[in-house]
Amino acid sequence: MRFLKGVFVAKIAALAVTALAAHGQSLNSTAQSRSLLKTDAVTYLFPEQVSVPAGKPSQVALHFRIAQGLHINSHTPSDDFLIPTTLSIPDGSGVRLASATYPAGTVIVLPIDPTTKLSVYTGEFIIQARIVATAGNHLVQGKLHYQACDNNQCMPPKTITVAIDVIGK
């Protein structure tokens, strides 16, 4: 009987701890949903996982999609005040970005200002990343920094995570 009481109290305590944890988590999810109110102009498509020879530079094609009606500056925008699209991999992930080859931008002209030409990406685009991985399994959180506009307005610069499971063999 005494044992059953102990089990009962322990279960209630565990539930209370779960409730507190859930409370904290609900605050986080509310904050996340708030930030998602802003449009995600660029989505990372694939690959989710790659296998590469450990210690050797390997080419990986990273595919992205830009939301319809929007464009982002290419890696080499037409003016130095514009923010270029850049890929990076943080240090310490076991994977190094040796180099990245970006596609050439498409030249567009805004209807309201035919004198200004912009070098942009629209639709889907691919960045050829040359990576070097150490042996093992690495969950890489790459970063793509970009700034998106449509013909009349611009959104603030944004950085999205490019999550790839890199297996160095």
Partner 1 sequence: MRRNTLVLGATLLILAIFAWAGWANWEYRRQEAERLLSGAGQGELVPAPGGGTPQYVSPLNGKPAPAFELEDLTGNKVSLESYRGKAVLINFWATWCGPCRIETPWIVELRNKYAAQGFEVLGVDTEGDDLEKSDKAGWAKATAAAGKFVAKEKIPYPVLLDGDSISRDYGGLDDLPTSFFVDRKGVVVAAQVGLTSESDIESKIQKALNQ
- The residues of the shown chain that bind partner 1, judged by CB under 8 A, are 2, 5, 8-9, 12-13, 15-16, 19-20, 22-23, 26-27, 30, 34, 37-39, 81-83, 110, 112-113, 116, 118, 147, 149, 151-157, 159
- DSSP code, position 123: S
Q: How far is the CB of 160 from partner 1 (least distance, A)?
A: 13
Q: How far is the CB of 133 from partner 1 (least distance, A)?
A: 29
Strand partners, 63: 46, 126
Nearest to 154 by CA among 74, 80, 76, 83: 83
138 versus 146: smaller Cβ distance to partner 1: 146
Q: How many CA atoms lie within 13 Å of 137's alpha carbon, on the beta-carbon side?
A: 3
User: What is each CA distance from 102 to 6, 48, 63, 114, 121, in whole angstroms?
Assistant: 63, 19, 11, 26, 10
118 versus 131: smaller Cβ distance to partner 1: 118
Q: How far is the CB of 96 from partner 1 (least distance, A)?
A: 25
Enumerate residues 6+ apart whose C-beta is below 8 A from 108.
71, 117, 118, 120, 122
13 versus 139: smaller Cβ distance to partner 1: 13
CA 32 to the chain's CA centroid: 15
Q: How far is the CB of 67 from partner 1 (least distance, A)?
A: 13
Q: How far is the CB of 6 from partner 1 (least distance, A)?
A: 9
| Cβ proximity of 83 and 147 under 8 Å | yes
93 versus 147: smaller Cβ distance to partner 1: 147
